[in-house]
Amino acid sequence: MKTKLIVALDYNNLNDAKSMIDILSDSVEYYKVGLELFLSSGFASIDYLKSKDKKVFLDLKFHDIPNTVAGAIAVSIRAGVDIFNLHTQGGVEMMCEAKRVLDDEYSKLSSSLQTKPLLIGVTLLTSLNKKYLQDFSISISDEAKYVSDLAYKAKLSGLDGVVSSASEVRTIKERCGTDFITITPGIRMLDDNVDDQKRVVTPADAKSIGSDYIVVGRPVTSANDPLNAATNILEELKD
Ligand code: C5P
Protein backbone atom coordinates (compact mmCIF):
# COMPACT_ATOMS: atom_id res chain seq x y z
CA MET A 1 0.00 0.00 0.00
CA LYS A 2 1.22 3.50 -0.81
CA THR A 3 2.04 5.52 2.33
CA LYS A 4 -0.62 8.19 2.85
CA LEU A 5 -0.36 11.54 4.64
CA ILE A 6 -2.79 12.39 7.46
CA VAL A 7 -2.58 16.00 8.68
CA ALA A 8 -3.36 16.39 12.40
CA LEU A 9 -5.77 19.27 13.02
CA ASP A 10 -4.63 19.98 16.58
CA TYR A 11 -6.66 23.17 17.04
CA ASN A 12 -8.98 24.37 19.79
CA ASN A 13 -11.46 25.97 17.41
CA LEU A 14 -13.14 25.12 14.15
CA ASN A 15 -12.19 28.33 12.33
CA ASP A 16 -8.45 27.62 12.51
CA ALA A 17 -9.08 24.05 11.37
CA LYS A 18 -11.21 25.24 8.45
CA SER A 19 -8.54 27.75 7.37
CA MET A 20 -5.90 24.99 7.31
CA ILE A 21 -8.14 22.62 5.35
CA ASP A 22 -8.80 25.40 2.84
CA ILE A 23 -5.10 26.32 2.54
CA LEU A 24 -4.13 22.69 1.90
CA SER A 25 -6.98 22.44 -0.57
CA ASP A 26 -6.73 19.45 -2.94
CA SER A 27 -3.24 18.41 -1.81
CA VAL A 28 -4.29 16.60 1.40
CA GLU A 29 -7.07 14.01 1.57
CA TYR A 30 -6.82 12.69 5.15
CA TYR A 31 -7.19 14.69 8.38
CA LYS A 32 -6.98 13.69 12.01
CA VAL A 33 -9.55 15.14 14.42
CA GLY A 34 -8.41 14.64 18.01
CA LEU A 35 -9.77 15.41 21.45
CA GLU A 36 -9.00 19.14 21.32
CA LEU A 37 -10.81 19.89 18.07
CA PHE A 38 -13.63 17.45 18.71
CA LEU A 39 -14.33 18.82 22.20
CA SER A 40 -14.29 22.39 20.92
CA SER A 41 -16.29 21.89 17.74
CA GLY A 42 -18.01 18.51 18.00
CA PHE A 43 -19.34 16.93 14.84
CA ALA A 44 -19.12 20.26 12.98
CA SER A 45 -15.43 19.53 12.30
CA ILE A 46 -16.33 16.17 10.78
CA ASP A 47 -19.23 17.66 8.81
CA TYR A 48 -16.92 20.33 7.38
CA LEU A 49 -14.32 17.78 6.31
CA LYS A 50 -17.00 15.60 4.72
CA SER A 51 -18.44 18.62 2.87
CA LYS A 52 -14.97 19.03 1.34
CA ASP A 53 -14.82 15.33 0.41
CA LYS A 54 -12.02 14.61 2.90
CA LYS A 55 -11.30 11.44 4.86
CA VAL A 56 -11.51 11.67 8.65
CA PHE A 57 -9.40 9.88 11.24
CA LEU A 58 -11.25 10.41 14.53
CA ASP A 59 -8.54 10.06 17.17
CA LEU A 60 -10.58 9.77 20.39
CA LYS A 61 -8.97 6.51 21.60
CA PHE A 62 -12.13 4.85 22.92
CA HIS A 63 -11.64 2.88 26.15
CA ASP A 64 -14.74 1.78 28.02
CA ILE A 65 -17.01 -1.23 28.51
CA PRO A 66 -17.76 -3.10 25.25
CA ASN A 67 -21.35 -1.81 24.97
CA THR A 68 -20.34 1.84 25.37
CA VAL A 69 -17.48 1.62 22.88
CA ALA A 70 -19.77 -0.14 20.41
CA GLY A 71 -22.27 2.72 20.73
CA ALA A 72 -19.56 5.32 20.13
CA ILE A 73 -18.42 3.47 17.05
CA ALA A 74 -21.91 3.23 15.59
CA VAL A 75 -22.36 7.01 16.00
CA SER A 76 -18.93 7.69 14.44
CA ILE A 77 -19.68 5.56 11.40
CA ARG A 78 -23.00 7.29 10.84
CA ALA A 79 -21.17 10.65 11.00
CA GLY A 80 -18.92 9.52 8.14
CA VAL A 81 -15.71 8.82 10.05
CA ASP A 82 -13.29 6.77 7.90
CA ILE A 83 -10.78 5.71 10.57
CA PHE A 84 -11.23 5.55 14.31
CA ASN A 85 -9.24 4.14 17.17
CA LEU A 86 -9.65 2.45 20.53
CA HIS A 87 -7.29 1.27 23.26
CA THR A 88 -6.28 -2.36 22.80
CA GLN A 89 -5.86 -2.41 26.60
CA GLY A 90 -9.67 -2.15 26.76
CA GLY A 91 -9.56 -5.89 26.14
CA VAL A 92 -10.41 -8.52 23.57
CA GLU A 93 -14.13 -8.51 24.35
CA MET A 94 -14.29 -4.77 23.76
CA MET A 95 -12.33 -4.98 20.50
CA CYS A 96 -14.50 -7.87 19.20
CA GLU A 97 -17.69 -5.99 20.05
CA ALA A 98 -16.35 -2.87 18.30
CA LYS A 99 -15.61 -4.94 15.20
CA ARG A 100 -19.05 -6.57 15.29
CA VAL A 101 -20.77 -3.17 15.41
CA LEU A 102 -18.56 -1.83 12.65
CA ASP A 103 -19.53 -4.74 10.40
CA ASP A 104 -23.24 -4.32 11.28
CA GLU A 105 -23.27 -0.58 10.63
CA TYR A 106 -21.29 -0.96 7.44
CA SER A 107 -23.70 -3.54 6.08
CA LYS A 108 -26.56 -1.08 6.73
CA LEU A 109 -24.75 1.96 5.30
CA SER A 110 -22.46 0.48 2.65
CA SER A 111 -24.40 2.06 -0.21
CA SER A 112 -23.73 5.55 1.20
CA LEU A 113 -20.09 4.93 2.24
CA GLN A 114 -17.24 4.97 -0.27
CA THR A 115 -15.05 2.56 1.70
CA LYS A 116 -15.36 0.47 4.84
CA PRO A 117 -14.15 2.43 7.89
CA LEU A 118 -10.93 1.22 9.51
CA LEU A 119 -10.79 0.15 13.14
CA ILE A 120 -7.38 0.92 14.60
CA GLY A 121 -5.90 -0.01 17.98
CA VAL A 122 -3.71 2.04 20.27
CA THR A 123 -1.11 -0.18 21.96
CA LEU A 124 1.13 1.36 24.64
CA LEU A 125 1.11 5.16 24.57
CA THR A 126 4.59 6.48 23.84
CA SER A 127 4.37 8.52 27.05
CA LEU A 128 4.22 5.29 29.07
CA ASN A 129 6.87 2.64 29.69
CA LYS A 130 7.75 -0.50 31.66
CA LYS A 131 8.18 1.49 34.88
CA TYR A 132 4.67 2.92 34.54
CA LEU A 133 3.24 -0.59 34.15
CA GLN A 134 5.24 -1.83 37.17
CA ASP A 135 3.70 0.96 39.27
CA PHE A 136 0.35 -0.69 38.52
CA SER A 137 1.67 -4.20 39.25
CA ILE A 138 1.77 -5.14 35.56
CA SER A 139 4.99 -7.00 34.94
CA ILE A 140 6.34 -7.18 31.39
CA SER A 141 9.67 -8.47 30.11
CA ASP A 142 10.13 -5.77 27.51
CA GLU A 143 8.08 -2.97 26.02
CA ALA A 144 8.56 -3.97 22.38
CA LYS A 145 7.23 -7.47 23.09
CA TYR A 146 4.29 -6.02 25.03
CA VAL A 147 3.41 -3.69 22.11
CA SER A 148 3.70 -6.58 19.65
CA ASP A 149 1.45 -8.77 21.87
CA LEU A 150 -1.19 -6.02 22.03
CA ALA A 151 -1.02 -5.58 18.25
CA TYR A 152 -1.46 -9.33 17.79
CA LYS A 153 -4.51 -9.35 20.09
CA ALA A 154 -5.92 -6.49 18.01
CA LYS A 155 -5.36 -8.52 14.85
CA LEU A 156 -7.06 -11.60 16.37
CA SER A 157 -9.99 -9.41 17.46
CA GLY A 158 -10.54 -8.27 13.88
CA LEU A 159 -9.00 -4.80 14.02
CA ASP A 160 -7.49 -3.43 10.81
CA GLY A 161 -4.26 -2.14 12.32
CA VAL A 162 -2.60 -0.13 15.07
CA VAL A 163 -1.06 3.26 15.72
CA SER A 164 2.63 2.50 15.85
CA SER A 165 5.92 4.34 16.24
CA ALA A 166 8.31 3.91 13.31
CA SER A 167 10.55 1.63 15.39
CA GLU A 168 7.68 -0.84 15.92
CA VAL A 169 6.37 -1.09 12.34
CA ARG A 170 8.62 -3.95 11.14
CA THR A 171 7.98 -6.18 14.15
CA ILE A 172 4.23 -5.57 13.97
CA LYS A 173 4.11 -6.35 10.24
CA GLU A 174 6.16 -9.54 10.79
CA ARG A 175 3.85 -10.69 13.58
CA CYS A 176 0.48 -9.57 12.19
CA GLY A 177 1.06 -9.63 8.42
CA THR A 178 1.88 -6.93 5.88
CA ASP A 179 -1.84 -6.15 5.38
CA PHE A 180 -2.16 -5.17 9.04
CA ILE A 181 -2.17 -1.36 8.88
CA THR A 182 0.27 0.83 10.76
CA ILE A 183 -0.35 4.54 11.36
CA THR A 184 2.81 6.35 12.39
CA PRO A 185 3.17 9.75 14.14
CA GLY A 186 6.49 11.38 15.08
CA ILE A 187 7.36 12.52 11.56
CA ARG A 188 9.76 15.33 10.77
CA MET A 189 11.60 16.56 7.68
CA LEU A 190 15.39 16.61 8.12
CA ASP A 191 15.54 20.35 8.87
CA ASP A 192 12.38 20.49 11.03
CA ASN A 193 12.20 21.34 14.73
CA VAL A 194 11.43 18.08 16.61
CA ASP A 195 9.20 19.98 19.12
CA ASP A 196 8.23 17.62 21.98
CA GLN A 197 8.65 14.40 19.96
CA LYS A 198 11.35 12.12 21.45
CA ARG A 199 12.18 10.07 18.35
CA VAL A 200 11.32 11.18 14.84
CA VAL A 201 11.70 9.79 11.33
CA THR A 202 11.35 11.46 7.94
CA PRO A 203 8.41 10.70 5.64
CA ALA A 204 10.81 8.82 3.35
CA ASP A 205 12.04 6.68 6.28
CA ALA A 206 8.46 5.90 7.34
CA LYS A 207 7.68 4.88 3.78
CA SER A 208 10.71 2.60 3.50
CA ILE A 209 9.89 1.00 6.88
CA GLY A 210 6.41 0.19 5.53
CA SER A 211 4.11 2.59 7.41
CA ASP A 212 0.74 2.75 5.69
CA TYR A 213 -0.17 6.21 6.98
CA ILE A 214 1.92 8.96 8.55
CA VAL A 215 0.38 11.51 10.92
CA VAL A 216 1.92 14.96 10.64
CA GLY A 217 0.89 17.99 12.68
CA ARG A 218 3.15 20.96 13.32
CA PRO A 219 5.58 20.46 10.42
CA VAL A 220 2.59 21.35 8.22
CA THR A 221 0.23 23.35 10.41
CA SER A 222 2.93 25.61 11.95
CA ALA A 223 4.89 26.06 8.71
CA ASN A 224 5.14 29.52 7.14
CA ASP A 225 3.82 27.93 3.98
CA PRO A 226 1.71 24.88 4.97
CA LEU A 227 0.83 23.97 1.39
CA ASN A 228 4.50 23.89 0.44
CA ALA A 229 5.33 21.83 3.56
CA ALA A 230 2.61 19.29 2.72
CA THR A 231 3.74 19.17 -0.91
CA ASN A 232 7.32 18.42 0.17
CA ILE A 233 6.11 15.58 2.40
CA LEU A 234 3.95 14.14 -0.38
CA GLU A 235 6.95 14.33 -2.72
CA GLU A 236 8.93 12.10 -0.29
CA LEU A 237 6.07 9.59 -0.24
CA LYS A 238 5.94 9.26 -4.03
CA ASP A 239 7.01 5.96 -5.61
O1 C5P B 1 2.74 18.08 15.60
P2 C5P B 1 3.13 16.62 15.51
O3 C5P B 1 3.49 16.18 14.10
O4 C5P B 1 4.15 16.23 16.54
O5 C5P B 1 1.76 15.88 15.86
C6 C5P B 1 1.66 14.50 15.86
C7 C5P B 1 0.24 14.07 16.09
O8 C5P B 1 0.26 12.67 16.33
C9 C5P B 1 -0.45 14.72 17.28
O10 C5P B 1 -1.84 14.87 16.95
C11 C5P B 1 -0.29 13.70 18.39
O12 C5P B 1 -1.35 13.71 19.30
C13 C5P B 1 -0.27 12.39 17.61
N14 C5P B 1 0.46 11.30 18.28
C15 C5P B 1 1.80 11.37 18.61
N16 C5P B 1 2.42 10.31 19.23
C17 C5P B 1 1.75 9.22 19.54
C18 C5P B 1 0.40 9.11 19.20
C19 C5P B 1 -0.22 10.19 18.57
O20 C5P B 1 2.45 12.37 18.33
N21 C5P B 1 2.36 8.21 20.10
Domain spans of the chain, in order of start: 4-237
Q: How far is CA 5 from the centre of its chain?
A: 11
- The single residue of 52, 61, 116, 130 carrying the catalytic annotation is 61
Q: Which amino acid is at 121?
A: G
Dist CA 234 CA 221 (whole Å): 15
Nearest CA owner, ligand 1 atom 3: 217
CATH superfamily for 4-237 is Aldolase class I (3.20.20.70)
Contact 21, 14 (CB under 8 A): no
Beta-carbon contacts of residue 197 (< 8 Å; ≥ 6 apart): 185, 186, 188
Helix (H, G, I), strand (E, B) or coil at 56: strand
Within 10 A of 10 (CB to CB), how many other CB atoms are there? 19
Atom of ligand 1 nearest to the CA of 126: 21
Per-residue pLDDT of the chain (239 residues; tens, 9 = 90+): 899 999 999 999 999 999 999 999 999 999 999 999 999 999 999 999 999 999 999 999 999 999 999 999 999 999 999 999 999 999 999 999 999 999 999 999 988 888 999 999 999 888 888 888 888 888 888 888 999 999 999 999 999 999 999 999 999 999 999 999 999 999 999 988 898 888 899 999 999 999 999 999 999 999 999 999 999 999 999 98
Ligand 1 site: residues with CB under 6 angstroms?
8, 10, 32, 34, 126, 163, 185-186, 195, 197, 215-219
C-alpha of residue 201 to centroid of ligand 1, in Å: 13
Helix (H, G, I), strand (E, B) or coil at 187: strand
61 flagged as catalytic: yes
Q: Find, among 237, 185, 181, 239, the residue nearest to 28 by Cα.
A: 237
C-alpha of residue 85 to centroid of ligand 1, in Å: 14
C-alpha of residue 34 to centroid of ligand 1, in Å: 10
Q: Which amino acid is at 3?
A: T
Nearest CA owner, ligand 1 atom 15: 185
Using a cut of 0.75, tell me whether the model's pTM lies above it. yes
How high is the pLDDT of residue 167? 93
